[in-house]
A and B are shown apart, each in its own frame.
Chain A
Amino acid sequence: MADTTRTGPIVQLGGVTKCYNVGQPAEVEVLHGIDLTLEAGEFAALIGPSGSGKSTLINIIGLLDRPTSGTLFIHGQDTRALDDRALTRLRSEEIGFVFQHHHLLSAFTALENVMMPMLVEQHFPAADMRARAHALLVQMGLEAWEHNLANNMSGGQQQRVAMARALAMNPALVLADEPTGNLDTKSADAVFALMRQANRESRTTFLIVTHNNALARRCDRIIEVVDGQIVPTSH
């Protein structure tokens, strides 16, 4: 698992562009030379109108997609030369994801969902995995629900399980795409508080994509993307 005494930049993008349909008449560039650095322990919001390139940017930072040009360093590691297998490994070790629609594995219980990233890694003793997953669910206030199938939980509970899963590998970076988008105010506040707690306790860097300006304002930093470029924020 990643070191909890983190310092220095976790994400460094230099002149990142992203084009779709390269070499075809319908070629389109959705990101235009993005420069961005996220330091260890930062708690940042990524805002912007729909179609501005937020999702593309977060997919690139999350190593789910590759930039067309430019550089991307994750926790000091240059990702340009890495093959798919190495990218998958780096993603597994350094990055956690929280999605708007939770995306839990419906065939598994809450505890098993949280254990899943460690199971994928294949070198964690069973007892350690279980203890770590249990501790995270306790932290999320879900100890009473840990043996429930993901499908049998409320939206807020599922999102908290997804949060616990994102933190399971103690990643340096958590990318949250509209984590409170589908939740009521009370659940949204609870999830936000948990993200804040994880950020403070383990200096995990958070980048939260949101359309919710109120939520963005509660973050330490706001990054605004308009038409594929980062613009000085007016918030």
Chain B
Amino acid sequence: MNRWAPFEWIVALRFLRQGRAQTVFIMTGIAIGVGVIVFMSAMLASLQANFVTRTLTSQAHIQILPPEELPRPLRVSTAVVVQAPVIQRPVQRQRSIDQWQTIVSEVHSYSEVTNVTPTVSTSALALRGDASRSITITGIEPAVYFRIVRLPDYIVSGEPRLSTEEIIIGSELARELGVSVADKLSVTTAGNTTRLLTVSGVFDLGNKGANQRSTFVALRTAQTLANLAGGVTSIDITVRDLFAADSVAAQLAAVTGMQADSWISTNAQLFSTLSAQEMSFVTIELFVALSVAFGIASVLSVTVIQRSQEIGILRAMGTSQRQVLGVFLLQGALLGLAGALVGAAVGSGSLKLFHDLVRLPDGSELFPFAVKPVLLLLTVLLATVTGVLAASLPALNASRLDPVVAIRG
């Protein structure tokens, strides 16, 4: 018996040790519960982070576009308004953002904004021999744009380099047209402007459609192809807080008078899927935590009944109600803590095993393995607190036992 330990610790530890089988069973239950929580939370966080990273490294957080063209009523005179029975939606012509240089410098002044770059997007046909494919051309300023869309990370051959005569294309387009780095590609737009460009790099964005259609050229090249000399069709932006993109977009739209789309609104379905996934995981975790709590409470309730005579004699020899309360709360905390430590290790180990065994068809990982220390710490803390809370009712019952009744049995 260690005298350095307070009375409550000595008795709580000895009670747990004596009821070894019970202790092991409940600790196993807690460990399984905590293991499931750690496994699911870490996997969910990794999957979500992976989804978000994949999504946001291939698109801007906010895109400023020219406002949509709306139909205008035809006024015959000031007194008479001719109303058409059907209002036809006007064609959205490709046009430049008015005063885009001013807007870029204005957006730069926002503290939430980290990167701003103008782009030009247009559609075209890529021709090689008899083969042709429709493509989307995005004209960029590589230095800033690559900080927004991490194209260099996805380059599978060649260089992420763009002179006015170069083009970066997707792996599917390269395969379909039979081109590789340093090959020439003829690009013709709807306005019949044609340029012969050299493939400087091939990327793989992990999306077949994007790899078939997306291409990148220098901003000036795109301006020429789109017949928008000096103009841009969008301004791409990144912000510090990903999840504040919606509110920043609303502010920018109000200030610039342009249309501002955040990644949250353009990926609403992905976002709601992630939210639903998170909600279902949280619900499962809640029920697991509840079952752990009830497990601890039931075991300690049985212990209180089993040990009521011993509690009575402890009270008779001068143990205070507070000390008895402490003995049982401590048992709950120790069960929660020990079970959580084992569970955290088991959960992390299982996740590592799952991560190593379950791979995507191409052999790459399904999600990056990452168990944050803060998650483990929080889970262990939560399990310990749950242990204390679950033990509180049995502990209160124990402390309130009438020693006379308890001793009599």
Known: A88-B320, A89-B318, A121-B318. A106 touches B1 (CB 8 A): no
Determine whether the beta carbon of A97 is less than 8 Å from that of B310: no
Residues of chain B within 8 A of A116, CB atoms compared: 314, 317
Query: What are the residues of chain A within 8 A of B309 when measuring CB–CB?
Result: 101, 103
> B14–A99 contact, CB under 8 A?
no
Complex CA gap A140/B310 in Å reads 22
Interface segment out of the listed B2-10, B57-65, B290-298: B2-10
Q: Closest CB-CB distance, B88 to chain A, in whole Å?
A: 87
* A85–B4 alpha-carbon span in the complex (Å): 24
Would B318 and A88 count as touching, CB distance under 8 A?
Answer: yes
Q: How many residues of A contact B (CB 8 A)?
A: 34
The answer to whether B313 has its CB under 8 Å from any CB of chain A is yes
Residues of B within 8 A of A106 (CB): 18, 310
Is A84 on the interface with B (CB-CB < 8 A)? yes
Q: Does B403 count as interface, using CB distance less than 8 angstroms?
A: yes
Chain B residue with the shortest CB-CB distance to A102? B313
What B residues does A121 contact at CB under 8 A?
318
Judged by a CB distance under 8 angstroms, whether B407 is at the interface is yes
Known: A84-B321, A88-B318, A91-B318. A103 touches B312 (CB 8 A): yes
**How far does the Cβ of B12 sit from chain A's closest Cβ, in whole Å?**
10
Q: Does B156 contact A (CB under 8 A)?
A: no
Please measure, in the bound complex, the distance between the C-alpha atom of A175 and the C-alpha atom of B11, giving whole angstroms: 25
Are A99 and B313 interface neighbours, CB within 8 A?
yes
> Chain B's nearest CB lies how many Å from the CB of A95?
8
CB contact between B316 and one of A64, A107, A126, A129 (< 8 Å): that residue: A64
- Interface pair A107/B313, CB less than 8 Å apart: no
> A62 vs B314: C-alpha distance in the bound complex, in angstroms?
14
* A192 within 8 A of partner (CB): no
| B316→A91 contact, CB < 8 A | yes
Given contacts A120-B7, A129-B3, contact A92 B404 (CB under 8 A): no
Query: A96-142: which residues lie under 8 A (CB-CB) from chain B?
Result: 96-97, 99, 101, 103-108, 112, 115-117, 119-122, 125-126, 129
Smallest distance from the beta carbon of A190 to chain B beta carbons, Å? 22
Complexed CA–CA distance, A121 and B18 (Å): 23
The interface residues of chain A lying within 8 Å CB-to-CB of B11 are 105
Contact indicator A108/B14 (Cβ below 8 Å): yes
Q: Is B133 an interface residue (CB 8 A)?
A: no
B134 at the interface (CB under 8 A from A): no
The interface residues of chain B lying within 8 Å CB-to-CB of A122 are 6-7
Question: Are A103 and B313 closer than 8 Å at their CB atoms?
Answer: yes
A85–B320 contact, CB under 8 A? yes
- Tell me if A201 is interfacial: C-beta within 8 Å of chain B: no
Answer whether A120 and B18 are a contact pair too, CB < 8 Å, given A103-B312, A108-B1, A115-B1: no
Q: Is the CB of B404 within 8 A of A103?
A: no
> What residues make up the interface of A, taking CB atoms closer than 8 Å to B?
59, 62, 64-65, 84-85, 88-89, 91-93, 96-97, 99, 101, 103-108, 112, 115-117, 119-122, 125-126, 129, 165, 169
Apart from A59-B404, A88-B319, A107-B17, what 15 extra A-B contacts exist at CB < 8 Å?
Answer: A64-B407, A88-B318, A88-B321, A91-B316, A96-B317, A97-B313, A99-B313, A101-B309, A103-B310, A107-B18, A108-B14, A116-B314, A119-B1, A119-B3, A120-B314
In the assembled complex, 10 residue pairs joining A and B whose CB atoms fall closer than 8 Å, in A order, are A62-B316, A88-B320, A89-B318, A103-B309, A112-B1, A120-B317, A122-B6, A126-B3, A126-B4, A165-B317
**Across chains A and B, which 9 residue pairs bring their CB atoms closest together, nearest first?**
A92-B318, A126-B3, A107-B18, A103-B313, A107-B14, A117-B317, A120-B319, A64-B404, A120-B318
